[in-house]
């Protein structure tokens, strides 16, 4: 179930003074089962881009294909597409509205036309997937903590059993533990259910840790599209567009300048530690 | 006596049922005694739900203590007669920039506070200009706030607080919704206000690297302050921080891991330069 964008341009308010050319000539294929990180500063086109993946925005020009079908050919069932390609917006907990967590998660499947029992089953599965314990299911969503609400909202999308899950900054405003919990759950969904994950993030450390492929957006264009490791190697170019590589990348670069023969490629503390120990051990 | 001081401060969120009976009591602050000196740069860390925001709201009397007391410049926040003066003295900046900007033009937004306290027009314009230059947003004075980036909006919100000439600014996760550039700009602005204008800063954040320039760091858990010290003293204890649901910056974690593995380097390394320097001496 690949997502394919062909020569996509998107222009906001094309006919007035607020005209903004938000996406420029985007060509992109995302295959089923990938874990893709999307990064870029505010206004670089990230959010506009992800809203094309499930047909929420119709490109000004160009074509968007899901599973090789053109979704804007006039016959395509867009509602079905949005069940297959689930989008979790920023601060999704603001969209919780039902009286209990369970009912809220049932909302999607109910709209898909499933009967109550099926809805409940789906909701139960989804809530388990995001790691929300059963004692919370009958509570009002508004009694939960920030991290729990976020999980409930993600469960609401998972209950529709999507093939692709897009998350727009799912960890914004969470503390480090809440952040790691959510990202680990997302990784589990990816590994166990083979759901395609598209993660929009401001944190290079996070995409380095989880994503196999990284798309860097700048001024409405794809600036880089490669593995995180290959991209962080070019951290000077990232800085030029207002981004930065993870902190360890800079530690390694500095050490190399001082004559340490360590790999510049380390992306995590673990890798950096191995490199430095190997170097020190050798010279000790 | 410090600008913000509390003694045995406690606060409970009490929810009532429809017939006015108490349904639940959540103790968000469970006995806090602090003394913050004028001109200090304080960072408060802690996981979600540890009581940080509740404490912040005590500092300009949005919330008043259930038990114990808090004084702003010697004024007790329990005394309603002090409220106006307390709020002129301590300004607050919140997480979401979109929720705190009301003017349709940047300079009108910044002038809203002074206008509300009946200041003369000339003085208002003077303050608007000063505040906008202080946050480096003067060039945007006639722009519409909704066309600004998140970081720029936060700086406008800070200017709005500065226009009231506060002695203290409390910022509750002001960078949580910003991209890296926006975060850097806001932190730079806050640091400058502290260094040049001597404004007392109380910054709540989840980003550990934002705590590095603080004079003192408080770590909260379960409504209490469980750690207090300089950034170096705090980040040396990475195990304890992790147990509290927090993290240390990557460079500090790397230094800690190397030390555990037998490399002879000092505790509490906070910057890349420090780590590289120490490793060079070993090599």
Q: Are strands B35-36 and B168-172 parallel, antiparallel or unpaired?
A: unpaired
- Predicted confidence at residue A27, as pLDDT, reads 97
> What whole-number distance in Å separates Cα of residue A26 and Cα of residue A49?
9
DSSP B113: H
Please choose, from the candidates A208, A206, A146, the residue with its C-alpha nearest in 3D space to the C-alpha of residue B247. Answer: A206
Query: Least CB-CB distance to A247: which of B151, B251, B258?
Result: B251
Please choose, from the candidates B59, B54, B12, B53, the residue with its C-alpha nearest in 3D space to the C-alpha of residue B35. Answer: B59
Q: Classify A226 as helix, strand or coil.
A: strand
Confidence of residue A5 (pLDDT cuts 50, 70, 90): very high
Chain A residue with minimal CA distance to B248?
A176
- Predicted confidence at residue B15, as pLDDT, reads 82
- Give φ, ψ of A260 to 5 degrees: -80, 130
> What whole-number distance in Å separates Cα of residue B134 and Cα of residue B165?
12
Inform me whether the pLDDT recorded for A284 exceeds 60: no
What is this model's ipTM?
0.79
Mean pLDDT of chain A: 91
What six digits make up the tokens of B275? 């780590």
- A251: closest CA of chain B, how far (Å): 6
Q: Are strands B200-204 and B168-172 parallel, antiparallel or unpaired?
A: parallel
Query: Least CB-CB distance to B180: which of A174, A244, A260?
Result: A244
Q: Report if pTM > 0.90.
A: no
Question: Is residue A146 a contact partner of residue A178, using CB atoms and an 8 Å limit?
Answer: yes
Domain boundaries, chain B: 4-231
Please choose, from the candidates A51, A43, A5, A52, the residue with its C-alpha nearest in 3D space to the C-alpha of residue A21. Answer: A43
The predicted-structure confidence for A102-117, as pLDDT tens digits, reads as follows 999 999 999 999 999 9
Q: Under 8 Å CB-to-CB from B67, ≥6 apart: which residues?
A: B8, B9, B10
The predicted-structure confidence for A188-213, as pLDDT tens digits, reads as follows 999 999 999 999 998 888 999 999 99
How many Cα atoms occupy the beta-carbon half-sphere of B137 within 13 Å?
32
Average pLDDT over residues A126-130: 90
Residue B22 has a CB neighbour count (10 Å cut-off) of: 10
Inform me whether the pLDDT recorded for A282 exceeds 70: no
The predicted-structure confidence for A40-66, as pLDDT tens digits, reads as follows 988 889 999 999 999 999 999 999 999
- B48: closest CA of chain A, how far (Å): 6
> What whole-number distance in Å separates Cα of residue A187 and Cα of residue A189?
5
Exposure string (b/e) for A247-261, b if CB count within 10 Å is 16 or more? bbbbbbbbbeeeebe
Q: Classify B75 as helix, strand or coil.
A: strand
First to last CA, chain A: 53
> What whole-number distance in Å separates Cα of residue B121 and Cα of residue B210?
37
- A71: closest CA of chain B, how far (Å): 32
Between chain A and chain B, the number of residue pairs with CB atoms below 8 A apart is 102
What six digits make up the tokens of A54? 């499930």
The predicted-structure confidence for A134-168, as pLDDT tens digits, reads as follows 999 999 998 887 778 988 999 999 999 999 999 99
Cβ contacts (< 8 Å) between B181 and chain A: which residues? 41-42, 242
> What whole-number distance in Å separates Cα of residue A82 and Cα of residue B12?
43
Question: Per DSSP, what are the bridge partners of residue B11?
Answer: B29
CB spacing of B49 vs A146 below 8 angstroms: yes
Question: Is residue B6 a contact partner of residue B66, using CB atoms and an 8 Å limit?
Answer: no
DSSP B210: G
DSSP string, A151-211: HHHHHHHHTT--SEEEEESTTTT--HHHHHHHHHHHHHHHHHH--EEEEE-S-HHHHHHH-
What six digits make up the tokens of B100? 């705190």
- Predicted confidence at residue A179, as pLDDT, reads 87
Query: Least CB-CB distance to A283: which of B179, B273, B283?
Result: B283
- B168: closest CA of chain A, how far (Å): 24
Domain B4-231 has CATH 3.40.50.300: yes
Question: Is residue A199 a contact partner of residue A38, using CB atoms and an 8 Å limit?
Answer: yes
- Predicted confidence at residue A231, as pLDDT, reads 95
- Predicted confidence at residue A131, as pLDDT, reads 85
- Predicted confidence at residue A142, as pLDDT, reads 86
**Choice among A64-68, A81-85, A104-108, A128-132 with the minimum mean pLDDT:** A128-132
From first to last of its 283 residues, chain B has per-residue pLDDT tens of: 789 999 999 999 988 888 888 888 889 999 999 999 999 999 999 988 899 999 999 999 999 999 999 999 999 999 999 999 999 899 999 888 888 888 899 999 999 999 988 999 999 999 999 999 988 899 999 999 888 888 889 999 999 999 998 999 999 999 887 888 888 889 999 999 999 999 999 999 988 889 998 999 999 999 999 999 999 999 989 889 989 989 888 899 999 999 989 899 988 888 999 999 999 988 7
> What whole-number distance in Å separates Cα of residue A21 and Cα of residue A6?
17
Question: Is residue A121 a contact partner of residue A158, using CB atoms and an 8 Å limit?
Answer: no
Helices (H), A37-112: 46-53, 78-84, 101-111
Query: Least CB-CB distance to B283: which of A178, A260, A272?
Result: A260
- Predicted confidence at residue A283, as pLDDT, reads 46
- Predicted confidence at residue A55, as pLDDT, reads 94
What six digits make up the tokens of A113? 């036309």
CB spacing of A277 vs B272 below 8 angstroms: no
E-strand ranges in B215-254 read: 216-221, 224-229
What six digits make up the tokens of B56? 């912040």
Chain A residue with minimal CA distance to B49?
A145
CB spacing of B181 vs A205 below 8 angstroms: no
**Residues belonging to chain B:** 283
Is B212 touching A (CB cutoff 8 A)? Answer: no
Determine the angle formed by the axes of helices B106-116 and B150-162, rounding to 10 degrees: 30
DSSP B271: S
> What whole-number distance in Å separates Cα of residue A160 and Cα of residue A106?
9
Report CA-CA distances (Å) from B132 to A235, B30, B107, B125, B136.
Answer: 33, 39, 8, 11, 6
Inform me whether the pLDDT recorded for A78 exceeds 50: yes
Please choose, from the candidates B223, B229, B228, B215, the residue with its C-alpha nearest in 3D space to the C-alpha of residue B8. Answer: B223
- Predicted confidence at residue B240, as pLDDT, reads 92
Cβ contacts (< 8 Å) between B283 and chain A: which residues? 258-260, 280, 283
């Amino acid at each position: 179930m690949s997502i394919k964008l062909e020569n996509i341009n998107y222009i906001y308010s094309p006919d007035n003074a607020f005209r903004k050319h938000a996406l420029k000539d985007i060509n992109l294929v995302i295959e089923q089962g990938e874990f893709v990180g999307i990064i870029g500063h505010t206004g670089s086109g990230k959010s506009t881009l992800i809203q094309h993946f499930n047909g929420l925005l119709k490109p000004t020009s160009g074509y968007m294909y899901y599973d090789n079908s053109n979704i804007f050919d006039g016959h395509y069932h867009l509602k079905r597409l949005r069940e297959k390609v689930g989008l979790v917006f920023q601060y999704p907990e603001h969209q919780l509205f039902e009286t209990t967590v369970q009912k809220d998660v049932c909302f999607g499947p109910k709209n898909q036309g499933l009967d109550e029992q099926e809805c409940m089953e789906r909701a139960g599965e989804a809530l388990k997937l995001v790691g929300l314990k059963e004692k919370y299911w009958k509570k009002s969503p508004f009694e939960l903590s920030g991290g729990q609400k976020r999980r409930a909202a993600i469960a609401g999308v998972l209950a529709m059993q999507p093939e692709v899950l897009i998350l727009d900054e799912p960890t914004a405003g969470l503390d480090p533990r809440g952040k790691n919990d959510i990202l680990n759950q997302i990784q589990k969904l990816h590994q166990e259910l083979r759901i395609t994950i598209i993660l929009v993030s401001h944190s290079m450390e996070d995409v380095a840790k989880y994503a196999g492929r990284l798309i860097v957006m700048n001024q409405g264009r794809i600036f880089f599209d490669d593995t995180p490791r290959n991209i962080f190697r070019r951290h000077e170019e990232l800085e030029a567009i207002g981004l930065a590589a993870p902190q360890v990348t800079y530690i390694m670069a500095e050490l190399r300048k001082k004559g340490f023969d360590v790999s510049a490629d380390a992306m995590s503390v673990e890798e950096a530690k191995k490199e430095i120990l190997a170097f020190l051990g050798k010279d000790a | 006596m410090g600008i913000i001081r509390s003694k045995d401060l406690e606060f409970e969120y009490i929810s009532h049922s429809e017939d006015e009976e108490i349904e639940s009591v959540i103790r968000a602050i469970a006995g806090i005694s602090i003394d913050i000196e004028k001109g200090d740069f304080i960072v408060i860390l802690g996981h979600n739900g540890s009581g940080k925001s509740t404490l912040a709201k005590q500092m300009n009397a949005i919330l008043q203590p259930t038990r114990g007391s808090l004084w702003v410049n010697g004024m007790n926040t329990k005394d309603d007669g002090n409220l106006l003066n307390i709020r002129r003295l301590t300004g607050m900046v919140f997480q979401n920039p979109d929720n705190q900007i009301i003017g349709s033009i940047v300079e009108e937004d910044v002038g809203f506070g002074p206008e509300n306290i009946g200041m003369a027009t000339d003085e208002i314009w003077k303050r608007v200009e000063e505040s906008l230059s202080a946050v480096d947003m003067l060039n945007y004075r006639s722009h519409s706030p909704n066309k600004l980036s998140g970081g720029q909006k936060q700086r406008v919100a800070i200017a709005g607080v500065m226009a009231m000439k506060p002695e203290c600014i409390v910022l509750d996760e002001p960078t949580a919704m910003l991209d890296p550039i926006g975060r850097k700009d806001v932190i730079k602005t806050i640091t400058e206000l502290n260094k040049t204008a001597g404004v007392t800063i109380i910054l709540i954040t989840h980003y550990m690297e934002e705590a590095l320039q603080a004079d003192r760091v408080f770590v909260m858990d379960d409504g209490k302050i469980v750690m207090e010290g300089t950034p170096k003293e705090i980040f040396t204890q990475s195990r304890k921080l992790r147990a509290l649901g927090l993290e240390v910056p990557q460079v500090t974690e790397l230094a800690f891991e190397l030390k555990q593995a037998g490399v002879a380097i000092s505790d509490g390394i906070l910057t890349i330069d420090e780590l590289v320097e120490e490793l060079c001496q070993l090599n």
